[in-house]
A and B are shown apart, each in its own frame.
Chain A
Amino acid sequence: MSRPRRSRLPGSLIVTLAVTAAFLWAARAVGFSADRFGGLPGSLARMLAQFFPPDVAYGREVVLGAIVESIQIAWVGTLLGAVLSLPLGLFGARNLFPRLGAWIKPVLGGIRAVPEILLALYFVPAVGLGAFAGALAIGVHSVGMLGKLTADVVESMDTGPVEAVTASGGGAVGVLRFAVLPQVLPEVLALWLFRFEINVRASAVLGVVGAGGIGGVLLNTLRYRQFPQAGAVVLLTVLLVLTIDSVSGAIRKRLVRG
């Protein structure tokens, strides 16, 4: 706090130089060049122009079904993650279970570090191509974040009711039922909804490795350069995400406030 400010300047200068150097080195390696960058607006505009008008019939016959499947994958995956994460979150809370929590939380962090699409690589050959593999991948991945955040919610709750239930002779079940769950449930439900929003985006992508949903459709239309069809996919995906986000966001606001 009382350190003179001047001594900090060289530090930030070094960081700036290091970041700039790293950027230039990486940009060269990745293939950034002046003319490639200059040609970017042109090639993007050319592609997007071919997106319009989007193929409406294709949208109705193929894309809509795949979008519905993506929603279903996200819903089942979120529920799966929610059901599995609730006990892990409770046992992972260090104010209730100090010793258990100390090793459950790092495990949850580890689960979170594996992207769902990598999990899908294993679930697809295990249960076959399709939506079920996607739902399993999303479910397992969601456990990491939901479990950790649930534990955080439990850790920040008011411990008064816990002591009250214990003082009046309640056991562990009574404490969970009457002191913990009523306090944390609204926030935990809001977390689940938030995760559902994330999972809608995630499930949209999983089709890339054959785990169902809209992603595979986009990959195929772009591969065969069927741009009006790809336009239908992009348009409907944007509409889907906007709708889910605004509905879910409105419910979350009411949950946390009420």
Chain B
Amino acid sequence: MSVGAPPRAGRGRGALLVAVVVALLALMTGWSAAGVGFAPGELLRNLGSLRRIVGDSFPPDWAFWRRLLAPFLETLQIAVVGSVLGGLISLPLAILAARGVAPTPAVAWVHRQAMNLLRTMPDLFWAMLFASAVGFGPFAGALALTVFTVAVVSKLLSESAESIDFALTETVRAGGGGWSSTVRFAVLPQILPQYVSFVLYAFEINVRASTVLGLVGAGGIGMVLNTQRTTFQYQRVTLIVLAIFGVVVLLEQLSEAARRRLV
């Protein structure tokens, strides 16, 4: 972007590279579209079934709302447990994974790899695994969100811990403080506001995730959604989806307002 950039040496090679990349992307797209059975024409021809599903879904079955209260409460409880428990586990993990903060580089490396491994699995995969290990229900959901929270918060927090002002840690160490007092007096005070903000952010994601955990039997409103879906009560499905939308947006606004006050 700078004005004084040197002229590109191999213009021809650059153009060739772009052509190869574009061709590869086009190939990937064609292959994927064929594999997925992508057919916009089909969509237009199937307008009838589209109209039918819309007709089946509206108007929402408003009278069903009474049976949603308890499951929604459970959803919220799953999100709270997952966020708090996951938040507690994330703090030590993030500190041990942060380069320059962890006691040795080897310790940081090991914990960073553990963190990366946690991050690879989608949230519902954890829910399925826990549901089959401890049985269907909200307990499995809370465990899944705990792991998911650890994955999100520890990653973000270890990055903040790596970018703290290291002059303070030097001061503590020069004063004769060991590793634990360095963390206690120089690292923690610097990352604490971000920590709270990240946990709140994870709570937002968790509320959204906890609404669908029930689709794999891990408790909450998703369990009701699944029974209504499999028995094709789409007017009830629509009511549940609208309710989830409302709850998610509301809690997002609240949590965002809280985070803004923090930072």
Contacts and interface: CB of A to CB of B under 8 A. Distances in A.
B263 interface: no
What size tier do the contact residues of chain A reach?
Answer: 35 or more
A50 to B, nearest CB: 10
B161 interface: no
A71 interface: yes
Interface stretch (B39-47, B61-69, B152-160, B164-172): B39-47
A188 B131 CA distance: 39
Given A22-B80, A131-B35, A132-B38, A126 B53 contact: yes
A29 B132 contact: no
A47 B133 contact: yes
B109 interface: no
A182 B109 CA distance: 39
Contact of A238 (B49, B121, B123, B232): B121
Contact of A125 (B43, B53, B120): B53
A44 B126 CA distance: 12
A222 B136 CA distance: 12
Contacts of B73: 29
Given A115-B208, A202-B122, A222-B129, A121 B241 contact: yes
A201 B215 contact: no
A202 to B, nearest CB: 7
Contact of B138 (A30, A47, A237): A30
Interface in B103-149: 116-117, 120-125, 128-129, 131-134, 137-139, 141-143
A65 to B, nearest CB: 10
Interface stretch (A54-62, A73-81, A89-97, A145-153): A73-81
Contact of B249 (A113, A204, A237, A241): A113
A69 B53 CA distance: 25
B74 interface: yes
Interface stretch (A163-171, A172-180, A205-213): A205-213
A195 to B, nearest CB: 15
Given A118-B241, A122-B57, A237-B125, A76 B81 contact: no
Contacts of B163: none
A143 interface: no
A75 B84 CA distance: 35
A190 interface: no
Given A29-B138, A132-B37, A47 B46 contact: no
Given A127-B50, A135-B36, 9 more contacts: A29-B74, A46-B133, A72-B35, A121-B225, A126-B46, A126-B50, A130-B37, A131-B36, A212-B36
